[in-house]
Amino acid sequence: MADLTHSTPLSLTDRLEQEALAASAPSQSELMRELGVKPRPGWTSRLPQGLAAFVTNPKGMAGVIILLALVLFSVLGPVVSEYNPNRRAGKPHVMPGYEHVLGTTRMGKDVFTQLAYGGRVSLAVGFGAGLAAAAIGLAIGISAGYFGGRIDDILTFFVNVVLVLPGLPLIIVIATMVEQASPLVIGVVLALTGWGWAARTIRTQTLSLRTREFVLSAELMGEKKWRIILVEIFPNMLSFVMGGFVLGTIAAILAEAALEFIGLGDPNAVTWGTMLFWAQNNLALQSGAWWEIWPPCIAIMLTGAALVLVNFAVDEITNPQLKASRRIGRIRKFLQRRGRSADVF
Partner 1 sequence: MAFLLRRLAFYLAAFFMAVTLNFFIPRMMPGDPSARIIASYQGRLNEAQVQAIREAYGVTGSLWEQYLSYFGSVLRLDFGISTVQFPEPTASLLFYGATWTLVLVGLSIFFAFVIGSVMGIHAAWHRGGFFDSFFTPINVMLNAFTPAIVALVLFYAFSLQLKWFPLGRAHDPSLMPGFDLQFIGSVLYHATLPVLSIFIVSFGGWHLGMRNVMINLLNEDFVILARAKGLSDRRVRYRYVARNAIMPQITALALSVGFLIGGALVTEQVFNYPGLGKFTFTAIQSRDYSFIQGQLLLLTMSVLVANLLSDIANVVLDPRLRKG
Site of interaction with partner 1 (CB under 8 A): 59, 157, 160-161, 163-170, 172-174, 176-179, 250, 254-255, 257-258, 261-264, 276, 280, 285-286, 290, 293, 297, 300-301, 304-305, 307-309, 312, 315, 319, 321-322, 325-332, 345
Nearest approach, Cβ of residue 75 and partner 1 (Å): 23
Q: Which is nearer to partner 1, 47 or 70 (CB)?
A: 70
Angle at the Cα of 141 (from 135 to 145), degrees rounded to 5? Answer: 150
By the 8 A CB rule, do 282 and 167 touch?
no
Nearest approach, Cβ of residue 2 and partner 1 (Å): 13
Q: Which is nearer to partner 1, 112 or 312 (CB)?
A: 312
Q: Which is nearer to partner 1, 59 or 88 (CB)?
A: 59
Nearest approach, Cβ of residue 278 and partner 1 (Å): 13
Nearest approach, Cβ of residue 1 and partner 1 (Å): 11
Q: Which is nearer to partner 1, 85 or 296 (CB)?
A: 296
Q: Which is nearer to partner 1, 212 or 330 (CB)?
A: 330
By the 8 A CB rule, do 145 and 236 touch?
no
d(CA 198, CA 241): 7
Q: CA end-to-end span of the chain, whole Å?
A: 23
With H, G, I as helix, E, B as strand and everything else as coil, classify residue 195.
coil
- Nearest residue to 14 via CA among 5, 25, 4, 22: 22
By the 8 A CB rule, do 145 and 210 touch?
yes
d(CA 130, CA 86): 28
Nearest approach, Cβ of residue 48 and partner 1 (Å): 25
